[in-house]
Structure 1
Amino acid sequence: MKYRTKRNSPAVHQQGFSLLQLVLCLCVLGLIGGVGYYVYQQQSKTQITNFEECAAAGNPIMESYPEQCSVNGQTFVNDQQ
């Protein structure tokens, strides 16, 4: 008994990656890289504990009396004024 096969049918044993598999792998690698970068950035941030450190880090200084510097939801007051 002979089996007939269509010439344009997809191969049963496909070798290599399909385009969908490649895109999924790149998305997963990008996600892992993004999470790693975020964690690295969070760990490398210095803790700001006073007005001088806040101003030295380049954060905005409010034009008030006394001056105030705000970073990450915290506000520091310039005690030297």
Structure 2
Amino acid sequence: DFEGVIPEGEYGGGPMIVWDTGTWAPMEDVDKSLRSGAFKFRLAGQKLNGGWMLTRLKPKPGEDENKKNWLLFKERDLASDTK
């Protein structure tokens, strides 16, 4: 529920707004899923709902192995916009 400006130089520095509010619940063991690179969860928010998945991308050749890029996918469910 925090909105305001985080000072420059601090983690996440800049303006901060609350875009959505609600709850979330993991669909599997959180630690195991994050280690494997596929984390599924459900959102029940005012704007976002249904199943979602974070999936970790493998590093490109020559890319830092510690760099972790993730993609967020919406699962096909009743909360999907199928138009």
Larger-Rg structure: 1
More strand by share: 2
The question of a shared fold, defined as TM-score above 0.5 by the shorter chain, is answered with no
**Greater relative CO, 1 or 2 (CA 8 Å, sep 6+):** 2
TM-score, normalised via structure 1 length: 0.19
Higher helix residue share:
1
